[in-house]
Amino acid sequence: MLPSINAPDYLSYARVAVEEGIKVVETAGNPDPVLPFLKANNVIVIHKINMGTRWMCTMESPIHHSVKEEIVRMDENSTILVLRKFRNSTRLAKNEISLEVAKIENSKLSPKFDEVAHLMSGIRGRKVYETGDINAGVWTVGQATGLIKDIPTCVELAKRIEREATEALSRANARFSSDSHL
């Protein structure tokens, strides 16, 4: 799984998903340690679909509303990649803390993770989501951040995704003919 300061018990997460009857899960990083368990329990695993930020920005999401409003304001230049030199690249919202991480990481040829660990702490990041202070810590966002322009309910978002997928498939199908000219 992904390197972290305090790695969670991923197998316990997988067990709870199975116990709760969840049939499809999305993973990131290296899901290999839990794949055999999930597959043995007939759970479909979808790897790296990058929808987290979109669902964060829904009415039901438990993060502070100020963070959701910040996501809506963001554009394609509002994120930053850090931790590349540690072989654990992550995309973060560009704020005072993530810029400091980038500055430290890029100021040396071989920085040590200990130099940025206090800034990358999940405890600090959790404060962003709890208080709405976007500079309280680092917080992860996806590449599509600049495309998010509203804060719908989960039902509205799911219906929109389904409608847009159907429309896209219809447009693609209209470009092809079943008549072969070979």
Pair (135, 161) in one structural domain: yes
Pair (106, 140) in one structural domain: yes
In terms of residue numbers, what domain contains 18? 9-48
Q: Is the pTM here over 0.85, yes or no?
A: no
Pair (75, 114) in one structural domain: yes
Give a yes or no: residue 181 inside a domain: no
First to last CA, the chain: 49
4/162 Cα distance (integer angstroms): 34
Chain centroid, CA 118 distance in Å: 21
Cβ pair 82, 104 in contact under 8 A? no
* Domains in the chain, number: 2
Pair (154, 81) in one structural domain: yes
C-beta atoms surrounding 28 within 10 Å: 12
Write down the pLDDT at residue 150.
97
Write down the pLDDT at residue 100.
98
Give a yes or no: residue 90 inside a domain: yes
Give a yes or no: residue 79 inside a domain: yes
Give a yes or no: residue 147 inside a domain: yes
Q: Output phi, psi for 145, to 5 deg.
A: -50, -45
Write down the pLDDT at residue 1.
47
Pair (15, 36) in one structural domain: yes
Write down the pLDDT at residue 7.
73
Parallel, antiparallel or unpaired: strands 44-47 and 79-82: unpaired
Q: Output phi, psi for 70, to 5 deg.
A: -65, -40
Write down the pLDDT at residue 91.
93
Q: What is the pLDDT along the chain (182 residues), one digit of tens a residue?
A: 455 677 788 899 999 999 999 988 877 667 788 899 999 999 988 776 678 899 999 999 999 999 999 999 999 899 999 999 988 889 999 999 999 999 999 998 999 999 999 999 999 999 999 999 999 999 999 888 999 999 999 999 999 989 998 999 999 988 886 776 66
